[in-house]
Amino acid sequence: MLELVDISKRFKKIEAVKSLNMFIEQGEIVGLLGPNGAGKSTAISILSTLIEPTQGDVRFLKESVIKKPAPLRKAIGVVPQEIALYPQLSTEENLLFFGRIYRLKGSKLKQRVNEILELIGLTEKRKALVDSFSGGMKRRLNIGVAMLHNPQILIMDEPTVGIDPQSRSYILETVKRLNKEHQMTVVYTSHYMEEVDYLCDRIYIMDQGNLIASGTKEEIKQILSSENTISIQADRWNSKFIAQLKGHESITKVHVEGDEITLITPKEVNLFSEIISMTEEYGIALRSLHVKSPTLEDVFLHLTGRALRD
Amino acid sequence: MLFQLIKKQLLLLWRNPVQIFLLLGLPIILILILSIALAGFMESGSPKLELKVAWLEHEDESEQIERFINEMNALGVPAETFGDSEDMQIITMLREDIFQGEDLQEMIELNVIHEDEKADVLADDSYSGLIEVPENFTYDMLQIISEQGGERPEITLHVNQEDGIYSSVLSQILEQFDENLTTQTFLQQNGLAVDMKEMQAAASAGEQTQINQMEPISSRDYYTVAMAVFTGLYVASTIGFFATRERQDQVFDRIIVGDMSRWLYFLSILISGTIIAFIQLLFLFCFSYFVFQVSFNDILTFLITTISYAIAVGGITVLLTAISYRFKSDAIIGFFSGVVTSILAFIGGSFFPIGELSETIAHLGNLTPNGSGLSAYIQILRGSGLEDVANYLIYMISFGVVMIIVAAMSFPKRGSTR
Ligand SMILES: Nc1ncnc2c1ncn2[C@@H]1O[C@H](COP(=O)(O)OP(=O)(O)OP(=O)(O)O)[C@@H](O)[C@H]1O
Ligand SMILES: [Mg+2]
């Protein structure tokens, strides 16, 4: 239904997106995953006709929309990465204003505003100024505004950044429900693996402007089928110990995060006994040591040698 | 749609008390402070004249004239040579036809006093001066005119030193009178007929025009206008800030994704700037009308001037917005409100009538939209009509149009606002 064909975007010196191919089918939830600066927002902006690509084409229902964006614009609702609202206006005033921008009027507009308020759980707060809201409430309204005109496709750019766990699961549930009950197509950008893992049917993973993996969750996790992911937990680490792991010929990747070290090794080697004797040698109090089933996080680590966040 | 955008802009301003204060409260405070603090400065430049003058005659004139006519008759010279006795009433003429004549009576309040009141008057600050006609003045003067010799008498003028401009007006009138007497003496001695009355009248009319050109407006008038046009410039940065906020918060993106033309948005900024400036100016002038009694007699010209200036401000608003969108930065708006506005206000005469320092500066001042607006308003306050200020109006509108054109050229095309 919606396609990016060999898209590149250059901002003066930086090539933010490099030959990206992407497609979105009716009724899917597609995840776009990547660390900061990966080019997600740039890709999303091209997809939603906000910026023109330096190269490549955007097609909606097989028609190019680069020069004629109107049909696509009517079909999409965009949730920007920023809280794109007027803080000095109330919930209702924001909804009414953007509703008018989407050319809704009169009783139709009022009705949609009520439905959205219900959907995002802010009916009680309709007269309150957005300025007085918590991060989670703002994020909910940010999403609500994008859905006023009942779009076929909802394009969300990191819609859960910086909010409390309740608001976050509320948003995830809502997105899932809209997809199930109303067959709403969703493009969901995030740097949280869990969100994408939970929501999405298919996933695109980007890093530094490049598409580094794509496919269904299962297909992507298959990438790690020839490798083991080993998790080690202990109270304190010893830098010599880490250096030794990094220098080990059978260990392809080492990632330290807090009290956990993640190692990627080929399936055929078994390092358990060796690791245990190493911890004894350095006096490390081991808490656990086990082989994990691969997560998307691990896939990213495998592909880039870096963790997704930080 | 356009209406929605403008309505939203007004609502945003309404919800922003700090900006409201900056646009409406601050100018009022400034008008108060400056008009009081700089009143003296203004007065020497463009006063509104209202003089209270005391008049003291030590002796009645008619007796002196009678004495003169009798002596002339005794000498065998017919007194008719010097006109009838009414023509000889030099002092009465000065008092009634000049000081209390049509031309000056609006400006001068003349109080005839008695000798015993003299000390009180001299001590009274509300008097700008005391004119003292010595004993025998008319008789002595007639003696001189008729070539009987003697000392030429003089009228004494006591002035209140603090009222610089007032006392100089008084002494100018008296000098003029004195000159006329000299002329009359000369003409008389050469056998030419004169009409002293007419001569004096013509002279004092000249005096009157000269005073009129001295810009009779008060410091309240001046600073009402000066602060209105000065703070009017802040409308541009206020709306500009709102607009760049919309870009930063991706609200503008939202508007574009809603398939609204960027030019409609552009237009909404222009119109909002213009309307808000117009409302602000009306508010300030209404306030000054009721509180400071600053009133424009020609309402229509006043309104057209206000619209013209609002258009200039609207043009600046949309230019600031376009540039901030183009460079993805609000630095230009900060620079405008922090630096450019003050410079424009300074050159445009909003802090003090800088144009009086030199022709060039006055000319330069009129090239700023606010200076041009200030000149137009001041002229209207002085009673000028639409034709007199037309040049300023045309300049302000043209200025606005140029701003709009440059803004349209710099407003980024699709996809380059991020
Ligand atoms: N308008 C722009 N001008 C110049 N460079 C830009 C612009 N927009 C993005 N970039 C650069 O392009 C790269 C990709 O940015 P983008 O915002 O698409 O990343 P992202 O994946 O959305 O990151 P984040 O998770 O931080 O939102 C970054 O290096 C960014 O600095
Ligand atoms: Mg982003």
pLDDT (0 to 100) of residue B159: 79
What is the rounded CA–CA span in Å between residue B29 and residue A140? 43
Please report which ligand is nearest the Cα atom of A39: 1
Tell me how many degrees the CA angle B117-B120-B126 measures, rounded to the nearest 5.
115
Contact in structure between B216 and B107 (CB atoms under 8 Å): no
What is the rounded CA–CA span in Å between residue B165 and residue B45? 9
What is the rounded CA–CA span in Å between residue A69 and residue A63? 10
SS3 A30: strand
Which position has the token pair 């993996």? Answer: A213
pLDDT (0 to 100) of residue A79: 95
**Per-residue confidence band for A285, with pLDDT thresholds at 50, 70 and 90:** confident
Task: Please tell me whether residues A250 and A216 are part of one structural domain.
Answer: no
Task: Tell me what the pLDDT averaged over chain B comes to.
Answer: 84
Domain boundary at B174, B207, B240, which?
Answer: B207
What is the rounded CA–CA span in Å between residue A2 and residue B114? 103
Averaged pLDDT, B261-277: 95
**Per-residue confidence band for B209, with pLDDT thresholds at 50, 70 and 90:** very low
Take residue B185 and report the two structure tokens written for it.
Answer: 């003496």
pLDDT (0 to 100) of residue B47: 45
A11 close to ligand 1 (CB < 6 Angstrom): yes
Pick left, alpha or beta for residue B154 (phi over 0 → left; psi -120 to 50 → alpha; otherwise beta). Answer: beta
Query: A98 contacts in B (CB within 8 Å)?
Result: 254, 258
What is the rounded CA–CA span in Å between residue A26 and residue A188? 14
Residue of A nearest to B246 (CA): A84
* β pairing state of A2-11 and A14-24: antiparallel
pLDDT (0 to 100) of residue B398: 97
Task: Please tell me whether residues B247 and B308 are part of one structural domain.
Answer: yes
Nearest to B303 by CA among B393, B199, B382: B393
**Per-residue confidence band for B217, with pLDDT thresholds at 50, 70 and 90:** confident
What is the rounded CA–CA span in Å between residue B176 and residue A184? 95
- Residue A57 CA, ligand 1 centroid: distance in Å: 20
Task: Please tell me whether residues B218 and B282 are part of one structural domain.
Answer: yes
For chain A, helix, strand, coil in percent to 5 are: 35, 30, 35
**Best mean pLDDT range from A184-188, A274-278, B380-384:** A184-188
Question: Residue B213 pLDDT more than 50?
Answer: no
Task: Please tell me whether residues A289 and A183 are part of one structural domain.
Answer: no
pLDDT (0 to 100) of residue A303: 77
Averaged pLDDT, B313-335: 94
pLDDT (0 to 100) of residue B107: 75
pLDDT (0 to 100) of residue B22: 92
Task: Please tell me whether residues B132 and B72 are part of one structural domain.
Answer: yes
Tell whether B298 is covered by a domain.
Answer: yes
pLDDT (0 to 100) of residue B203: 53
Q: Which residues contact A51 (CB under 8 A, 6 or more apart)?
A: A9, A42, A45, B414, B415, B416, B418
Q: Which of A208-212, A273-277, B20-24, B103-107 is least confident?
A: B103-107
Question: Residue B193 pLDDT more than 70?
Answer: no
CATH number of the domain enclosing A194: 3.40.50.300
Averaged pLDDT, B154-175: 74
Query: B244 contacts in A (CB within 8 Å)?
Result: none
* Number of domains comprising chain A: 2
Which of B250, B256, B416 shows the shortest C-beta gap to A82?
B250
Which of A48, A83, A88 shows the shortest C-beta gap to B12?
A88
What is the rounded CA–CA span in Å between residue A30 and residue A45? 16
Task: Please tell me whether residues A207 and A249 are part of one structural domain.
Answer: no
Atom 29 of ligand 1: nearest residue by CA position: A37
CA torsion B101-B103-B107-B109 (nearest 10°) is 0
Phi, psi of A87 (to 5 degrees): -60, -30
For chain B, helix, strand, coil in percent to 5 are: 70, 5, 25
The percentage of chain B sitting over the pLDDT mark of 90, rounded to a whole number, equals: 43
Query: B259 contacts in A (CB within 8 Å)?
Result: 69-70, 73-74
- Residue A103 CA, ligand 1 centroid: distance in Å: 31
Tell whether A309 is covered by a domain.
Answer: no
Query: A94 contacts in B (CB within 8 Å)?
Result: none
Which DSSP string do the residues of B52-79 spell out, in sequence order? EEEEEESS-HHHHHHHHHHHHHHHT--G
* β pairing state of A153-157 and A76-79: parallel
Contact of A83 with chain B, judged by CB distance below 8 Å, is answered with yes
pLDDT (0 to 100) of residue B185: 74
Question: pLDDT digit string (tens) for B135-149?
Answer: 888 888 888 877 777
Which of A51, A84, A146 shows the shortest C-beta gap to B415?
A51
**Per-residue confidence band for B211, with pLDDT thresholds at 50, 70 and 90:** very low
Task: Please tell me whether residues A45 and A172 are part of one structural domain.
Answer: yes
Nearest to B73 by CA among B91, B85, B61: B85
Question: Residue B84 pLDDT more than 90?
Answer: no
pLDDT (0 to 100) of residue B155: 85
Structural domain harbouring B10:
2-44+213-410
Task: Tell me what the pLDDT averaged over chain A comes to.
Answer: 89
Domain boundary at A186, A220, A254, which?
Answer: A220
Of all helices (H) and strands (E), which one includes residue B129? strand B129-133
CA distance B30 to chain A (A): 28
Structural domain harbouring A300:
225-304
Task: Please tell me whether residues B179 and B198 are part of one structural domain.
Answer: yes
Task: Please tell me whether residues A106 and A209 are part of one structural domain.
Answer: yes
Contact of A78 with chain B, judged by CB distance below 8 Å, is answered with yes
Question: Residue A222 pLDDT more than 50?
Answer: yes
Task: Please tell me whether residues A250 and A279 are part of one structural domain.
Answer: yes
CB contact (8 A) between residue B254 and residue A70: no
Chain B residues with CB within 8 Å of chain A CB: 1, 4, 8, 11-12, 15-16, 248-251, 253-260, 414-416, 418
What is the rounded CA–CA span in Å between residue B316 and residue B406? 10
pLDDT (0 to 100) of residue B147: 76
The percentage of chain A sitting over the pLDDT mark of 90, rounded to a whole number, equals: 53
The percentage of chain A sitting over the pLDDT mark of 70, rounded to a whole number, equals: 97
| Of A291 and B267, the one with more pLDDT | B267
Distance set, CA B33 to CA B36, B37, B223, B224, B282 (Å): 5, 6, 9, 11, 20
Query: A69 contacts in B (CB within 8 Å)?
Result: 259
Q: How many CB pairs under 8 A join A and B?
A: 72
Pick left, alpha or beta for residue A56 (phi over 0 → left; psi -120 to 50 → alpha; otherwise beta). Answer: left
Tell whether B73 is covered by a domain.
Answer: yes
* β pairing state of A286-292 and A227-234: antiparallel
Averaged pLDDT, B57-84: 78
| Of B98 and B283, the one with more pLDDT | B283
Domain boundary at B182, B207, B232, which?
Answer: B207
SS3 A160: coil
A302 close to ligand 1 (CB < 6 Angstrom): no
Domain boundary at A193, A220, A247, which?
Answer: A220
pLDDT (0 to 100) of residue B232: 95
pLDDT (0 to 100) of residue A283: 86
CA A218 to chain centre: 17
Task: Please tell me whether residues A120 and A237 are part of one structural domain.
Answer: no
SS3 B161: coil
Tell whether A19 is covered by a domain.
Answer: yes
A42 close to ligand 1 (CB < 6 Angstrom): yes
* Number of domains comprising chain B: 2
CB contact (8 A) between residue B418 and residue A80: no
pLDDT (0 to 100) of residue B416: 57
Tell me how many degrees the CA angle A154-A161-A263 measures, rounded to the nearest 5.
105
Tell whether B358 is covered by a domain.
Answer: yes
pLDDT (0 to 100) of residue B169: 75
Tell whether B171 is covered by a domain.
Answer: yes
Task: Please tell me whether residues A293 and A162 are part of one structural domain.
Answer: no
Task: Please tell me whether residues B194 and B289 are part of one structural domain.
Answer: no
Question: pLDDT digit string (tens) for A89-132?
Answer: 999 999 999 999 999 999 999 999 999 999 999 999 999 999 99
Averaged pLDDT, B270-287: 96
Q: Which of A160-174, A242-256, A290-304, B282-296 is least confident?
A: A290-304
Task: Please tell me whether residues A216 and A238 are part of one structural domain.
Answer: no
Averaged pLDDT, B167-172: 75
pLDDT (0 to 100) of residue B174: 81
Strands (E), chain A: 2-11, 14-24, 29-33, 55-60, 63-64, 76-79, 153-157, 185-190, 202-207, 210-216, 227-234, 253-257, 260-266, 286-292
Residues, beta carbon < 5 Å, ion ligand 2: A 40-41, 81
What is the rounded CA–CA span in Å between residue B273 and residue B355? 28
pLDDT (0 to 100) of residue B264: 94
A36 close to ligand 1 (CB < 6 Angstrom): yes
Averaged pLDDT, B270-275: 97
Domain boundary at A200, A220, A240, which?
Answer: A220
Tell whether B83 is covered by a domain.
Answer: yes
Question: Residue B212 pLDDT more than 50?
Answer: no
Task: Please tell me whether residues B100 and B31 are part of one structural domain.
Answer: no
**Best mean pLDDT range from A10-19, A289-298, B310-319, B408-417:** B310-319
Minimum-distance ligand 1 atom for the alpha carbon of A45: 18
Averaged pLDDT, A36-52: 92
CATH number of the domain enclosing A263: 3.30.70.100
Nearest to B236 by CA among B28, B9, B32: B9
Tell whether A310 is covered by a domain.
Answer: no
**Most distant CA pair in chain A, distance:** 76
| Of A138 and A12, the one with more pLDDT | A138
Task: Please tell me whether residues A115 and A11 are part of one structural domain.
Answer: yes
**Best mean pLDDT range from A110-119, A269-278, B32-41, B104-113:** A110-119
What is the rounded CA–CA span in Å between residue B161 and residue B167? 7
Task: Please tell me whether residues B12 and B81 are part of one structural domain.
Answer: no
| Of A193 and A214, the one with more pLDDT | A214
Averaged pLDDT, B75-84: 70
Task: Please tell me whether residues A27 and A90 are part of one structural domain.
Answer: yes
Averaged pLDDT, A205-230: 83
Task: Please tell me whether residues B218 and B201 are part of one structural domain.
Answer: no
**Per-residue confidence band for B208, with pLDDT thresholds at 50, 70 and 90:** very low
Residues making up chain B, counted from first to last: 418
Tell whether B273 is covered by a domain.
Answer: yes
ipTM score of the complex?
0.81
Task: Please tell me whether residues A196 and A236 are part of one structural domain.
Answer: no
Task: Please tell me whether residues B343 and B395 are part of one structural domain.
Answer: yes
**Per-residue confidence band for B414, with pLDDT thresholds at 50, 70 and 90:** low
Number of H helices, E strands in chain B: 19, 4
The percentage of chain B sitting over the pLDDT mark of 70, rounded to a whole number, equals: 85
Task: Please tell me whether residues B402 and B322 are part of one structural domain.
Answer: yes
Task: Please tell me whether residues B194 and B295 are part of one structural domain.
Answer: no
What is the rounded CA–CA span in Å between residue B350 and residue B346? 6
Tell whether B160 is covered by a domain.
Answer: yes
pLDDT (0 to 100) of residue A252: 84
Task: Please tell me whether residues B310 and B360 are part of one structural domain.
Answer: yes
CB contact (8 A) between residue B259 and residue A85: no
Tell whether B395 is covered by a domain.
Answer: yes
Take residue A125 and report the two structure tokens written for it.
Answer: 């707060």
Pick left, alpha or beta for residue A148 (phi over 0 → left; psi -120 to 50 → alpha; otherwise beta). Answer: alpha
CB contact (8 A) between residue B1 and residue A102: no
Domain boundary at B207, B222, B254, which?
Answer: B207
